[in-house]
Amino acid sequence: KAGVTQTPRYLIKTRGQQVTLSCSPISGHRSVSWYQQTPGQGLQFLFEYFSETQRNKGNFPGRFSGRQFSNSRSEMNVSTLELGDSALYLCASSSTGFSTEAFFGQGTRLTVV
């Protein structure tokens, strides 16, 4: 069974640009969550999508957005990048949501210069 796949693995962007990250969940999983991990911080929840609908949202500015497609694949977009957006972005999939353990991808390392 294939795991969670995130692309790309690494990205370097310039301040002010926008970026799109992709996540393909485990087959059959309908819930996809996104997290940001920065040095010294734990994983901070961005948002969760379930069956193409955003079901939960964390405390991040509107520059962070996402969507989910009918095949459960999800994308996350960050517009007007800031230096502080440099982080490891992790995607997690689960069958139903937070009541079952989530399986994480390897993450996308975003560096904003």
Interface residues with other proteins (CB under 8 A)?
4, 6, 33, 35, 40-45, 48, 56, 58, 90, 92, 97-107
DSSP for the chain, written as a single string: ----EEE-SEEEE-TT--EEEEEE--TT--EEEEEEE-TT--EEEEEEEETTEEEEE-S--TTEEEEE-TTS-EEEEE-S--GGG-EEEEEEEESSSTTS--EE---EEEEE-
Least Cβ distance, residue 56 to other proteins (angstroms): 5
Question: 66 or 105: whose CB is closer to other proteins?
Answer: 105
Query: 49 vs 112, which CB is nearer to other proteins?
Result: 49
The smaller minimum CB distance to other proteins, of residues 20 and 97, is found at 97
* Shortest Å distance, C-beta 30 to other proteins: 15
